């Protein structure tokens, strides 16, 4: 499950099919997800009902463990940590959880979180939609933020809205290239 990927994929389907619809149901291994789009040419805004956020056990050194179709460990960031220390923390926590993305979060205020993420098997990434949902849900659960929060990723802000155990993710969609591949 990829929160950003599913929004971009729905926008690409709409573009390729010359669709005019504003909602698309996408079937993923994490279940069916409804994506909504507001497009103006090659740019727009998309949202996706991410489904249930479930919480795991307590993990020493973490704010919490959550699953949003994939596993996440949310850690309170420390501005004094060098990235090499964050990477060691992420490696250890991901291993303990059998392979998980690890989000390093700073609470800016009750409506804004700053987040950097090390995705399992990838490393540092510019943005993580499921990670943004996990970070918001864990921070909300421990009383650090409200149910509607902007999660500032290095690649741009994403909005997470929590309704009970359900999360909705929304953010910008922008076409940057057309990609074609040939069968060999």
Asked if residue 91 has pLDDT above 90, the reply is yes
Predicted confidence (pLDDT) at residue 184 exceeds the cutoff of 90: no
Are the C-beta atoms of residues 89 and 102 closer than 8 Å to each other? yes
Backbone φ, ψ for residue 34 (5° rounding): -95, 125
Q: What mean pLDDT is predicted for residues 41-54? A: 91
21: buried, middle or exposed (CB in 10 Å: 19+, 13-18, 0-12)?
A: exposed
Element (H, E) at 181: none
pLDDT of residue 4: 83
Give 29-38 pLDDT, tens digit per residue: 878 889 999 9
Q: What is the mean pLDDT of residues 87-109?
A: 96
Q: How confident is the model at residue 79 (pLDDT cuts 50, 70, 90)?
A: very high
Mean pLDDT lowest for which of 15-19, 150-154, 162-166? 15-19
Report the pLDDT value the prediction gives residue 46, as an integer from 0 to 100.
92
Closest Cα partner for 155 from 51, 15, 8? Answer: 8
- pLDDT, position 87: 97
Residue in 104, 117, 105 with CA at minimum distance from that of residue 149: 105
pLDDT of residue 84: 97
pTM of the model: 0.91
Residue-wise pLDDT tens digits, 163-180:
999 999 999 988 888 778
Structure tokens at 53: 């956020």
- Does 6 have pLDDT greater than 90? no
Does domain 53-161 fall under CATH 3.40.50.720? My reply is no
Residue 28, token pair as written in the block: 């993923």
What pLDDT shows up at residue 174?
87
Q: Domain segments of the chain: what residues? A: 3-50, 53-161
- Structural tokens at position 166: 């359900």
């Amino acid at each position: 499950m990829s929160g950003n990927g599913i929004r971009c994929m729905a926008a690409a389907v709409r573009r390729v099919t010359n669709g005019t619809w504003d909602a698309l149901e996408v079937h993923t291994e994490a279940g069916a997800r409804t994506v909504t789009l507001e497009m103006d040419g090659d740019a727009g805004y998309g949202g996706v009902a991410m489904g249930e956020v479930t919480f795991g056990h307590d993990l020493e050194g973490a704010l919490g463990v959550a699953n949003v179709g994939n596993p996440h460990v949310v850690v309170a960031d420390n501005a004094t940590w060098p990235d090499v220390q964050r990477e060691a923390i992420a490696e250890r926590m991901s291993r303990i959880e059998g392979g998980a993305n690890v989000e390093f979060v700073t609470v800016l205020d009750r409506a804004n979180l700053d987040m950097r993420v090390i995705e399992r098997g990838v490393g540092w990434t510019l943005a993580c939609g499921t990670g943004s949902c996990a970070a918001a849900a864990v921070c909300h659960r421990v009383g650090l933020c409200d149910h509607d929060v902007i999660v500032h990723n290095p690649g741009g802000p994403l909005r997470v809205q929590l309704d009970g155990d359900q999360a909705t993710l929304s953010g910008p969609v922008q076409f940057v290239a057309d990609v074609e591949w040939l069968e060999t």
